[in-house]
Amino acid sequence: MALAVITGGATGIGAAAVRTFAAEGYDVALLDINGEAGRALEGETHPGRVVFFETDVSKRASIVQSVEAAVAQLGTPDVLFANAGIQKLSSLFDLKDEDVDAIIDVNLKGVLYTVAAVAAPMRDAGRGSIVLMASDQVFAGKEGSIVYGATKGGVAQLAKSLSVELSPLGIRVNAVCPATVKTPLTDVIFENVGQQSFDGDADRAWAAEAQTIPLGRIAAPEEIASVVYFLSQPASSFMTGALVPVDGGFTAQ
């Protein structure tokens, strides 16, 4: 059975990816800090197994421990989706040190250390496909999202340098760059935007966001997961180092 390692797989886009890979018969090692939601997914029935490993990707030792346990239990990973991420909006002048550190630790260092841990057994097997979670902020600036945007720009560069370094080992590395997707992460953000700018009406905040996207709507998590799946398959065998927009045309404007 092929194995996919997915970080941040407990909710949102990651959970959609867990279900996509498990539905296709992959065993999935789900690494997440959210034990309740992770264990709930573990209990679902799919053609492939879902096994939850409680992990804090901001701590390298936690990543290494979970990847070692996953490999011991499920075998060599064929696919890595390094997806775990956090967002905290703040203007430049209100930045808090602890928020800056947390966003960089999870979104950038967490991705780097996850790739290092999972690429080692892939190297030994001589094959693997890695998909990194970036964002439309690889290409576009957004008010209040300075640190998050910087980490996603960093993830894009990781995809490029890692693809060059790992190509000779038979490992491809690409990044997906979604625009706004409806998930628990963005629910919190648009609840706040609704409070601040739309008389407490989050639905109007979502509608205004949809208008910024040429396709005129917000993406569902499954629409990102299907591209991640494509990037993991032989159908994309000549793609590596690519930054793939999945954004309804947002960055085409």
Ligand X SMILES: NC(=O)c1ccc[n+]([C@@H]2O[C@H](COP(=O)([O-])OP(=O)(O)OC[C@H]3O[C@@H](n4cnc5c(N)ncnc54)[C@H](O)[C@@H]3O)[C@@H](O)[C@H]2O)c1
Interacting residue ranges for ligand X, rule: CB under 6 A = 7-8, 10-14, 32-34, 55-58, 83-87, 106, 133, 135, 178, 180-181, 183-186
Nearer Cβ to ligand X (8/121): 8
User: For 96, left (φ over 0), alpha (ψ -120 to 50), or beta?
Assistant: beta
- Shortest Cβ 230–ligand X spacing (Å): 17
Paired with 205 in beta bridges are: none
Nearer Cβ to ligand X (125/202): 202
Nearer Cβ to ligand X (56/123): 56
- Shortest Cβ 73–ligand X spacing (Å): 19
26, 113, 148, 229: the active-site residue: 148
- Shortest Cβ 68–ligand X spacing (Å): 16
Which helix (H) or strand (E) element contains residue 54?
strand 50-54
Q: Is 229 a catalytic residue?
A: no
Taking alpha carbons only, the member of 10, 6, 19 closest to residue 46 is 19
b/e map of 217-251 (b: 16 or more CB within 10 Å)? ebbebeebbebbbebbeeebeeebbbbbbbbbebe
Q: In whole angstroms, what is the distance from residue 17 CA to residue 8 CA?
A: 10
CB atoms within 10 A of CB 184: 12
Nearer Cβ to ligand X (26/81): 81
- Shortest Cβ 169–ligand X spacing (Å): 25
Q: Which residues are catalytic?
A: 148
